[in-house]
Amino acid sequence: MRVLFIVNECAGNGKGKIVWNRLQQHLTIDYQVVLTQYEGHGQEIAKQWVQKDQTKKLIIVVGGDGTVHEVVSGIVHNNLVVIAVVSAGSGNDFARYFQTFKNANQIDTYVKTEMPSTMMDIGKLQLGAIQHEVFVNNAGIGFDAYVTRQINKSRLKYYFNKIGLGKLSYAAAVVRGLFRFTCFDVTVLAQNETLHFQNVWFVATSNQPYFGGGMKISPMSKADDGKIELTIVHNISRVKLLLIFATVFFEKHTKFREISFLQSEQFEIIVHANSVDCHTDGNYIGAIGHDAVVRCTVQQHAWKCITLEKPKNVISQ
**Digit-coded pLDDT (tens) for 64-105:** 999 999 999 999 999 999 999 999 988 899 999 999 999 999
Given 61, 91, 115, the domain boundary residue is: 115
Q: What is the CATH number of the domain that holds 90?
A: 3.40.50.10330
Enumerate the β-bridge partners of residue 22: none
Integer Rg of the chain from CA: 19
What residues make up the domain containing 17?
Answer: 2-115
Q: Do 87 and 105 fall within a single domain?
A: yes
Q: Looking at the structure, do residues 110 and 130 belong to the same domain, yes or no?
A: no
Q: Which residues pair with 267 in a beta bridge?
A: 296
Q: How far apart are CA 30 and CA 290, in angstroms?
A: 53
pTM of the model: 0.89
Q: Tell me, what DSSP letter sits at residue 304? A: E
Q: Is residue 312 part of a domain?
A: no
| pLDDT tens digits along 258-274 | 999 999 999 999 999 99
Given a cut of 70, whether residue 163 has pLDDT beyond it is no
The neighbouring-strand residues paired with 2 are 57
Q: Are residues 105 and 154 in the same domain?
A: no
Average pLDDT for the chain: 89
**CA–CA separation, 200 and 187 (whole Å):** 10
Question: In terms of domains, do 106 and 129 share one?
Answer: no
Identify whether residues 98 and 142 lie together within a single domain.
Answer: no
Q: How many domains does the chain have?
A: 2
